Structure 1
Amino acid sequence: MNRPVKILHVFARMNCGGAERRTLELMRAVDPGEIRMHFCVLSGLPGVLDHEIRAMGGEVHRLPLRQAGFGWAFRELLAREGYDVVHSHVHYPSGWVLRLAYQAGVARRIVHFRSDCDGRPDALARRIVRWGLQYLIDRYATDIVAVSRSAMERAWTPRWQADPRCRVIYNGLDLSRAPHPADVAQVWATRERLGILPEKPLCIHVANVRPPKNHERLLRIFRAVQERTAGAMLMLVGDTLDRTAWLAERLFSLGLGPSVRVLGRRDDVPDLLAASDVMIFPSLWEGLPGAVLESLAAGTPVAASALPCIAEISQFVPGVRAISLTESDQHWADVISAIMRPTIDDRMAVRQAFQGSPFDLEYHVGRMRELWLEARPIRRGRWLEKRRRTRAPSITVIKAESNERETAREGRSAA
């Protein structure tokens, strides 16, 4: 019997972000006798998901990226554990990670773009660093994956389809975790547990309180909803992190304190979404927002900022209304009021469309298994190929070529 493929996922920290939770859902879904997953966290800090990973037979290795000797420690970890695949989820810094994996002899080196930008200022110094990291990705990645077409085009290149290493794999959700839209009793039980009457118009937002999620605009939009829809309430679900004081001040200054429930991190998010009438999601940027997919899986409509990834979702699943962030808060409130309080039939239509879409967990697992298990030769990246076309390689470059790259080049020449 073949031994399982060993994969090392690289994250900053295993907290309850969308990418981290999606990867753990994959870990639950795959056969551990076929695929075994470990994690390396570059912050060096413990995360809330560490215990769950270990309970499923995984390991969490804490290696601070900024600590002296990181390169040596990371290569030593790869050699000691004998990983077959390094799968890096840390955007452009993945270039450095994959270079170390190449030096350690790891054959499969995957970069996974989870967002369409790195969220850093676009200053000259940052652009230089970004270019260098992109060069490393292009040279050392055997596979380049993104959670949406828009993420691939903006984070990598609009010409990604010409590169056989690139593929878009949408995140998938387990529909069995979302309450059935016809289960009204469960919806009422959730509301009763929260102390919210069934007739109350209930909005929800699921995201950690971070700048890209645009909570300032969210609260202003909800104030406009409340002015239009008497008795409306809002649930904020997600870690407040270090912005608890800011959030409390904004709720007080906008006069929203009594109407907003700050629930923090929760384990019953599917129930909360099913009990809500609408999701408000005015993010500044996203790769593929898991909270929007979770809301649709529960049959709850979404009013979201008009990002390219939102348009991609709406191609497969109804129930999403894309609104430009340049529109007024009153316009947002008008749209939200129009889609609020969906019927059971409306919810069922959204759920059924979700079940046959690329966002279903079974489809997602199949695509990821293909990615991890198939043998894929290492290819040159576009920057390296461009350099080879413009000048002859030096003796040093020729000597530095590995046998693996020579084999790949000979195969292309024969073709």
Structure 2
Amino acid sequence: MTAQAPATEFDRPATAFDRKVNPARPLRVSSIITSLTSGGAEILVTNLNAAFAARGARGTIVVFCDAPTLGNSAEMEAELAAQIAESGCAFESLRLGARRRLVPGVVALRRHLAAFRPDVVHVHSVRAVAMLAFSGFSGPIVFTYHNSRLSFPPGLFAAIDRAVHHYVAISNDTASMYRRLSKRPFTLIQNAPSSRYKARGPRLASRKPCNVLSVGAISAQKNYSLLIETARALRDHATDAVPPPILRVAGGGDGLEDLRAQVRALGLEQVVEFLGERRDVPDLLARSDLYLNTSHYEGFSVAILEAMAMGLPVVATDVAGNRGLVRPDQNGLLCQPERPQALATAILRLSQDNSLYRQFSEGALATSREYTIENAAARHLELYTSLLRSRVPRKD
């Protein structure tokens, strides 16, 4: 049986991967995700594969379903597909139905594997692990779970372990989960923003009124009802001389219209706006002053990292996935969950104190420099080549 990673794996610093893949026989990697959309995991996989290509590897991003099949934006899918092609990678849809049945998925996956012949397959969903287990693929299989809270029974790790060689932990929280539930090794490779997100320097002060942005799909996890309650608290604090900050949310999904209706019912149309799924997030961040995260839990938020790379101080709930990334007295403020008054007070504090605002903007930029997509890609390639050399058996 393969031994677990040592305790030092938690804090092992990222190391540069200097050796480019042999151009005579480039490393081939298939990355499997559910669909191509603007979620954090999907954006990360897109950015990682572009960085793989820059280092001489050949990557293909494989999705189960076309985006509209799951109610996601066809326009966003087309834009991301164009970015993938431009980076030198490939994009392939297995064109499964919304239920992503096992047998059709295995058949379609076998066709992909026979045509592309990857050296390594990196899966980003539990369903992909199940399909891959029946695909006949004999190379290394890597699995990344992108959240700090499980969406499946913990006991399922016993079955996942029989198909997966190695896990990637995106945070200390997910590393703890692997330690507790899995018998396979893992490597800590924290998420990183695209190099497209980069500020020229720290911001000096918030505009009046302060523009606050949140980015993320409409889901129970993101807890946008708390954001709306925060907006109501901000309105109640406002005066004629000091208008309330404006809260905007970029993200689509089921429930969007219900949230807009809730905003109208509370008379908050001038304070909070749900923008739907957007393709101009860098521009939205550039025009914003603060970033707000109201989630019940996170993995290691790519959206927060992107905001920090643009110099935005962050206000966030003090939950798994936000702790450690949002550092009080350095780059942002953490507030207890379900406390809209606390979130509103934090937003007002940062927007009204120019000295603190600049300090936290500088801190946000400093934090973002700790997490680069180039380094994350190098760590992944280092892992893949190590697995290929070691020939770890897939089953106990």
TM-score normalized by structure 2? 0.79
- For 1:317 and 1:11, the matched residues in 2 are separated by 37
Amino acid across the alignment from 2:134: L
Name the Cα RMSD after superposition: 2.9
Partner of 1:300: 312
- For 2:291 and 2:273, the matched residues in 1 are separated by 14
Residues 320 and 110 of structure 1, relative CA distance in 2, 3 Å threshold: same
Q: 1:350 pairs with 363, 368, 386, which one?
A: 363
Partner of 1:138: 161
Residues 239 and 146 of structure 1, relative CA distance in 2, 3 Å threshold: same
Partner of 1:78: 113
- In the TM superposition, residue 175 of structure 1 has moved relative to its aligned partner by 5.0
- For 1:352 and 1:33, the matched residues in 2 are separated by 26
Partner of 1:266: 278
**1:226–1:232: 8 Å Cα contact kept in structure 2?**
yes
Corresponding residue SS for 1:263: strand
Amino acid across the alignment from 2:31: H
1:315-363: CA deviation from partner (whole Å, max 9, x where unpaired): 699313222214x322222222222255574255224422541x12232
**1:354–1:360: 8 Å Cα contact kept in structure 2?**
no
- For 1:54 and 1:306, the matched residues in 2 are separated by 38
Is it true that 1:56 corresponds to 2:67 in the alignment?
A: no
Paired residues for 1:28-39 under 5 Å: 28-31=50-53, 34-39=56-61
**1:9–1:40: 8 Å Cα contact kept in structure 2?**
yes
Partner of 1:96: 130
**1:297–1:350: 8 Å Cα contact kept in structure 2?**
no
Partner of 1:179: 199
Residues 100 and 236 of structure 1, relative CA distance in 2, 3 Å threshold: farther
- In the TM superposition, residue 182 of structure 1 has moved relative to its aligned partner by 5.2
Corresponding residue SS for 2:167: strand
- Of stretches 343-352 and 168-177 in structure 1, the one that deviates more from structure 2 is 343-352
1:141-193: CA deviation from partner (whole Å, max 9, x where unpaired): 11101211102323x33377xx6720111111245533324578xx99xxxxx
Partner of 2:341: 330
- For 1:23 and 1:364, the matched residues in 2 are separated by 11
Partner of 1:23: 45
Quick one: percent identity of the two aligned structures?
22
Is it true that 1:152 corresponds to 2:165 in the alignment?
A: no
- In the TM superposition, residue 277 of structure 1 has moved relative to its aligned partner by 2.6
1:101-123: CA deviation from partner (whole Å, max 9, x where unpaired): 5x222x11010111123446xxx
- For 1:99 and 1:201, the matched residues in 2 are separated by 51
Paired residues for 1:186-201 under 5 Å: 198-201=207-210
The structure with the largest alpha-carbon Rg is: 1
- In the TM superposition, residue 242 of structure 1 has moved relative to its aligned partner by 2.9
Is it true that 1:284 corresponds to 2:283 in the alignment?
A: no
1:274-332: CA deviation from partner (whole Å, max 9, x where unpaired): 43232221101211111211221122111111113222214699313222214x32222
- For 1:153 and 1:317, the matched residues in 2 are separated by 26
Amino acid across the alignment from 2:148: D
Residues 334 and 235 of structure 1, relative CA distance in 2, 3 Å threshold: closer
In structure 2, the gaps of 5 or more residues are 1-22, 69-73
Corresponding residue SS for 1:246: helix
Corresponding residue SS for 1:312: coil
1:247-273: CA deviation from partner (whole Å, max 9, x where unpaired): 221111221012223322333323322
In terms of fraction of residues, the more helix-rich structure is 1
Amino acid across the alignment from 1:86: V
Q: Which fold has the larger relative contact order, with Cα–Cα distance below 8 Å and residues 6 or more apart in sequence?
A: 2
Paired residues for 1:203-282 under 5 Å: 203-229=212-238, 230-282=242-294
**2:332–2:360: 8 Å Cα contact kept in structure 1?**
no
Residues 40 and 313 of structure 1, relative CA distance in 2, 3 Å threshold: same
- For 1:18 and 1:11, the matched residues in 2 are separated by 12
**2:246–2:270: 8 Å Cα contact kept in structure 1?**
no
Q: 1:339 pairs with 344, 350, 360, which one?
A: 350
Residues 274 and 318 of structure 1, relative CA distance in 2, 3 Å threshold: farther
Corresponding residue SS for 1:241: coil
1:80-119: CA deviation from partner (whole Å, max 9, x where unpaired): 22111111011x3343134135x222x1101011112344
Corresponding residue SS for 1:53: helix
Q: 2:380 pairs with 364, 368, 372, which one?
A: 368
- For 1:373 and 1:238, the matched residues in 2 are separated by 38
